[in-house]
């Protein structure tokens, strides 16, 4: 089955051993059963000829990043996923950089608005989200896609 990305992806733990990915898209959400975040991202990267680990290592080497490393899924589609917190946290949401229209502070939270007018309210500090966006921009500039 072909992996099709959306503006954000989050995971629901149904038990200690099973996780479901929920892919949010303009047309609605898609649920993939029994797939961890890294399995999903690896399968999506493989559709474009690479692996999650290979993509991660390349960005880490070029930008000297070690934590919360964004993953460029494809140079072709410019799908670039970044985590909202440590990737092994249960509440981690992966956001597609190319769908983000703006981020702004809303009280003690961060509001992410996507180009399809959907919004996401996060408990994550806005500085953390802005850091991830800047890393994506830097890497695209490094690859001359900016």
CB-side exposure of 31: number of CA atoms within 13 Å?
A: 7
The pLDDT assigned to 23 comes to: 66
Which of 3, 8, 6 shows the shortest CA–CA distance to 32?
3
Q: What gap in Å lies between CA 135 and CA 69, rounded to an integer?
A: 9
Note the pLDDT tens digit of each residue in 83-98. 998 888 877 888 889 8
Q: What is the pLDDT of residue 80?
A: 93
Distance CA 143, CA 59 (A): 10
Token look-up 């597609």 returns 96
Q: What is the pLDDT of residues 97-106, one digit of tens each?
A: 988 999 999 9
Q: Does an H or E element contain 105, and which?
A: strand 100-106
- Cβ–Cβ < 8 Å for 56, 37: no
Structure-model confidence comparison of residues 21 and 140, the more confident one: 140
In 3D space, the residue among 135, 146, 145, 131 whose CA is nearest the CA of residue 62 turns out to be 135
DSSP 124: S
């Amino acid at each position: 089955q072909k992996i099709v990305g959306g503006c954000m992806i989050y995971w629901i733990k149904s038990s200690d051993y099973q996780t479901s990915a929920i892919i949010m898209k303009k047309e609605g959400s898609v649920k993939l059963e029994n797939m961890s975040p890294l399995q999903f991202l690896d399968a999506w990267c493989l559709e474009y000829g690479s692996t999650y680990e290979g993509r991660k290592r390349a960005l880490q080497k070029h930008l000297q990043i070690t934590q919360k490393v964004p993953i460029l899924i494809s140079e072709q589609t410019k799908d670039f996923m970044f985590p909202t917190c440590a990737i092994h946290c249960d509440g981690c949401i992966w956001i597609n950089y190319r769908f983000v229209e703006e981020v702004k502070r809303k009280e003690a939270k961060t509001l992410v608005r996507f180009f399809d007018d959907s919004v996401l309210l996060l408990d994550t500090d806005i500085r953390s989200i802005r850091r991830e966006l800047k890393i994506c921009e830097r890497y695209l500039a490094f690859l001359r896609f900016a």
